[in-house]
Amino acid sequence: MDFNVKKLASDAGVFFTRAVQFTEEKLGQAEKTELDAHFENLLARADSTKNWTEKILRQTEVLLQPNPSARVEEFLYEKLDRKVPSRVTNGELLAQYMLEAANDFGPGTPYGKTLIKVGETQRRLGAAERDFIHSSSINFLTPLRNFLEGDWRTISKERRILQNRRLDLDVSKARLKKAKAAEAKAAAVPDFHETRPRNFVLSASASALWNDEVEKAEHELRVAQTEFDRQAEVTRLLLEGISSTHVNHLRCLHEFAESQTNYYAQCYQYMLDLQKQLGRLPGTFVGNAESTSPPPATTSPTTVAAATIPVVPTIPVVPTVVGAPNPTAAAEGTLNPNEVKPPASGTRKARVLYDYEAADSSELALLADEMITVYSLPGMDPDWLIGERGNQKGKVPVTYLELLS
């Protein structure tokens, strides 16, 4: 118990001495041992790496899991060293609702069929999102966390020890400086009337006493310098290891980018497939047969055509003439491309956004980025246009085109 008390008292004295030295340095009343420029650069680089790693880690977590409550739950499971329960993604939940709605409305109706197709695509998107989150967590987030919770904590610990060693070194330097100044003063003007306890011995001169004090201070300085140099070398090696950390994070970043690329490529392909499936169901977007009624007899064909193509008001419409093929039949998929004539003027150019495979002879196959001429027919489904490419013509879906002025 006595040993513990002495050690506690010694540690308290060292702590107080360091605190005094640190305060005097801040106030400019004490000299400070400066580190070399290379060491300072290593420290600044390590601090920058830690700060940016924390920011990237937090924002990536937000990207992968926008729900803050879910992030807190995952954090607690991680700290408790328990497996995080599987969570349904938003896409999978939306797919479940769409499929249930399709069964309720009738899977054979146009709306029900579309809900099933879109729901299945949403389920595939949700599964792709789950795989992306899982791979990103393992290949990107985990290495960043390991650095902050492992390597950086070790670096911070060694830096604190180095700071204490530097304070001890500066205290030893200040003590030696004071002892030498007192020794010089005592040698110049001997004083045998000192009231300090160590000068109560009348046979000892003040100069001899201060000489012993100087030797003691020099010994303490050599010890402090050795410990400081040893700790500085340890800290330097750890700080130089930041370069290896950057290399490791670079590899993880490449894996994250590759995983994200694959995820978005999958989503793009899924949506293209869905778009093709919906494009082959033109009746899906014009309503079911039960709610369709013929237009009044007084309504002209031009009025009907204008009412049925509100999304492409600037597309030229081929007028109905006597002896011309029935436009309604063309809109229903029995179009004969050879019988369709383009308007005399005002046709529009369009750029193809995606590849499209023709479902039958009445449709025109498309290749991405090619330019075609388009126009509409009276009574035609507003989601379709007539496209021409050289001597080829046929129906094309509007969603695959970018209409140009």
Whether 197 is in a domain gets the answer no
Instruction: Judge whether 257 and 266 are in contact, CB under 8 Å.
Output: no
Q: 272 with 351, same domain?
A: no
User: Is position 258 within any domain?
Assistant: yes
Same domain, 53 and 172: yes
What's the domain count of the chain?
Answer: 2
CATH number at residue 363: 2.30.30.40
pLDDT at residue 335, rounded to an integer = 57
- Cα R_g (the chain), whole angstroms: 41
What ranges in 67-195 are assigned the alpha helix state H?
Answer: 68-79, 90-105, 110-136, 142-146, 152-188
- Same domain? 167 vs 253: yes
**pLDDT number for residue 338:** 61
Name the 3-class secondary structure at 36: coil
User: What confidence tier does 318 reach under pLDDT thresholds 50, 70, 90?
Assistant: very low
Q: For residue 379, what pLDDT band results from cuts at 50, 70 and 90? A: confident
d(CA 245, CA 137): 18
Same domain flag for 82 and 216: yes
Structural domain boundaries enclosing 84 = 30-188+202-278
Position 283 pLDDT exceeds 70: no
pLDDT 10s digits, 140-155: 999 999 999 999 999 9
Q: Residue 299 falls within a domain, yes or no?
A: no
The answer to whether residues 113 and 107 touch, using CB atoms and an 8 Å cutoff, is yes
Average pLDDT rounded to a whole number, residues 380-402? 89
Is the same domain home to 396 and 262? no
> Is it the case that residue 305 has pLDDT exceeding 50?
no
Q: Is residue 98 situated within a structural domain?
A: yes
- Whether residue 129 is found in the same domain as residue 274: yes
> Are residues 354 and 261 part of one domain?
no
The residue type of 86 is: S
As a whole number, mean pLDDT of residues 353-374 equals 91
Does residue 313 belong to any structural domain of this protein?
no
Which CATH number characterizes residue 160's domain?
A: 1.20.1270.60
Look at residues 262, 278, 294 and tell me which one is the last residue of a structural domain.
278
352 with 272, same domain?
A: no
Checking if the pLDDT of 309 tops 80, the result is no
Q: Does residue 103 register a pLDDT over 90?
A: yes
pLDDT value of residue 304: 38
Mean pLDDT, residues 234-244 taken together: 94
Confidence of residue 101 (pLDDT cuts 50, 70, 90): very high
| Better-scored residue on pLDDT, 78 or 54 | 54
Question: Measured on CA atoms in the order 216, 217, 221, 222, is the torsion positive or negative?
Answer: negative
- 226 shares its domain with 351: no
Final residue of a structural domain among 247, 278, 309 = 278
DSSP class of residue 189 equals S
Please check whether residues 248 and 105 belong to one and the same domain: yes
Distances (CA, A) of 298 to 114, 303, 319, 329, 364: 35, 10, 18, 21, 35
Q: Are residues 241 and 387 in the same domain?
A: no
Give residue 19's pLDDT. 76
Q: Evaluate whether residue 50 is within a structural domain.
A: yes
Long-range contacts of 94-100 (CB under 8 A, 24+ apart): 94/119, 94/122, 94/126, 95/119, 95/120, 95/121, 95/122, 95/123, 95/126, 96/123, 98/122
Q: Which two tokens stand for residue 281?
A: 């169901």
Percent of the residues in the chain that have a pLDDT greater than 70, as a whole number = 70
Last residue of a domain, one of 253, 278, 303: 278
Q: Is residue 3 a part of any domain in this protein? A: no
Task: Tell me whether residue 179 is in a domain.
Answer: yes
Question: What is the reported pTM?
Answer: 0.59
Residue 191 tokens, joined: 């004083």
Look at residues 314, 169, 313 and name the one whose alpha carbon lies nearest to residue 231: 169
Mean pLDDT value across residues 316-334:
45
Q: Contact, 79 vs 106, CB < 8 A?
A: no
228 & 353 share domain: no
- Tell me the mean pLDDT in the region 102-110: 90
Q: Sheet containing 401-403: which strands, arranged edge to edge?
A: 392-397, 384-389, 371-375, 348-352, 401-403
pLDDT per position as a tens digit, 245-276: 999 999 999 999 999 999 999 999 999 999 98
pLDDT at residue 194 is higher than 70:
no
117-131, 198-212, 301-315 — which is least confidently predicted?
Answer: 301-315
DSSP state of 30: S
Listed residue (373, 313, 383, 364) closest to 343, CA to CA: 373
Mention every residue, 6+ apart, whose C-beta is less than 8 A from residue 266: 124, 128
